[in-house]
Amino acid sequence: MRDYTKFYIDGQWVDPAVANPLDVINPATEEVAGKINLGSAADVDRAVAAAKAAFPAFARTSVKERIELLGAIAGEYQKRYNDIAAAITEEMGAPAWLSNQAQAALGIGHIATAIEVLKGYKFDELKGTTLITKEPIGVCAFITPWNWPINQIACKVAPALAVGCTMVLKPSEIAPFSAYIWTEILHAAGVPKGVFNLVNGDGPGVGVALSSHKDVDMVSFTGSTRAGIAVAKNAADTVKRVAQELGGKSPNIVLPDADLVKAVSGGVQSVMMNSGQSCNAPTRMLVPRAKMAEAAAIAKQVAEATTVGDPNGNSAMGPVVSETQWHKIQGLIEQGIKEGATLVAGGPGRPEGLDKGYYVKPTIFADVTNDMTIAREEIFGPVLAMLPYDSGEDAIAIGNDTVYGLAAYVQGEPEHARLVARELRAGQVNINQAGFDLMAPFGGYKQSGNGREWGDHGFADFLEVKAIIGFGEAQAAE
């Protein structure tokens, strides 16, 4: 049983202003795995005050000092790598192999990327006699989700530290364990007191207090579009910067010249990874109408071969994160059946032999039309909707016909795929199942958010731009 009931404020672990305990449930067992406290506005005030007090000195640190600090964090992270991976499996149900190979790996990846970017980043640029300088924005509030918990913490904290910001983190109360270990890592690495602070809590208790706080200069939020809208409204009264990485309903266009087996198989596997709980999952697969039956047969085979079970075993897929999420997914599967989509694999209920844990069957729907609920709403579970199209223009139109624009995918002959990729309204387009690129900007069009994370683009939201006119030597008055 993990006891994570303290907050980290001003370089030390402290009790909350008022105890408000919450059980954290292991989604594989439905049993209590640990306890945290839910914070309040009083805790937020204390953490923000610490970050504000620490900002002037930390903002003046040199690039060399910040590179050394990030290097120390990377070293401490490696020491706790297995602890991070185990915590992620326990708190949100990711299979152990996924926690080790991807979830925990992305954490160290973002630290290393921030170091590499910082080494060559130009904070100052002289244009004529005007100096364009980039300065840390100030106190940042980070509100992060449960689905890729360390990834979303690291891709905010690492660049913010790199440019000289101070911060307060509210991790997901559903999956808070890895955030505590992350905080222990930063403390061990010697992050100056007040620079990084952690307050646990829910949206109404801590999220609202952070996003509306007068001394917070920017808020970076990752989560649902619904919650992102609320964060932006809360932040509006103080005109603070808001960066958002929100929902998605990403199209995966399988072109007529694609290798159908490879394209469909890879697409299904991508949806099922992390139990479908990825905002950029390719959950709408678009296939030529004449190939729908063949594509559905391939998808069925892959889905039914996807093993589901104990995340500490050898299963490809673990549970979804919570009972609430399980019921939401079940309702949307039932809706797909009700609206007339063809159920190819999976369906309602738990997989056979799994009577405990929030497990969902890998589910495939074929013959989906883009007006159906399962094609419009983000299900955030292992559910794929397969939609037919009649022409390339039709595929692009269907792909773009969504309020979201986080990611898109194209499979086919490379030159053809490049042409289609340019027409898709999404912040990141993946051609032919290319691998991760931590330098590629990540963020969305439309209701998928504002701003970009990852790589050098991930620095921008944490910087203000100042023009100092007449700074240069060749001034007209001389």
Residues forming a β-bridge with 466: 133
Residues forming a β-bridge with 124: 133
Closest CA to 120 of 73, 66, 63: 63
Closest CA to 22 of 34, 9, 8, 12: 34
What's the CA gap between 396 and 425, in Å, rounded? 9
What's the CA gap between 64 and 431, in Å, rounded? 37
Annotated catalytic residue within 279, 334, 378, 413: 279
What is the DSSP secondary structure assignment for residue 71, as one 8-state letter? H
What's the CA gap between 160 and 167, in Å, rounded? 8
Residues forming a β-bridge with 166: 139
* Angle (CA) 109 114 116, round 5°: 95
3-state secondary structure at position 221: strand
Annotated catalytic residue within 245, 323, 334, 413: 245
What's the CA gap between 188 and 147, in Å, rounded? 26
Give the strand order in the sheet containing 7-9: 12-14, 7-9, 196-198, 166-170, 139-143, 218-222, 241-245, 449-450
Residue 373, both tokens: 């609920």
What's the CA gap between 245 and 232, in Å, rounded? 12
Q: Which residue has the tokens 């773009």?
A: 400
The torsion angles phi and psi of 293, rounded to 5 degrees, stand at: -60, -45
Active site residue 279: yes
Active site residue 68: no
Closest CA to 253 of 70, 33, 426: 426
Active site residues: 245, 279
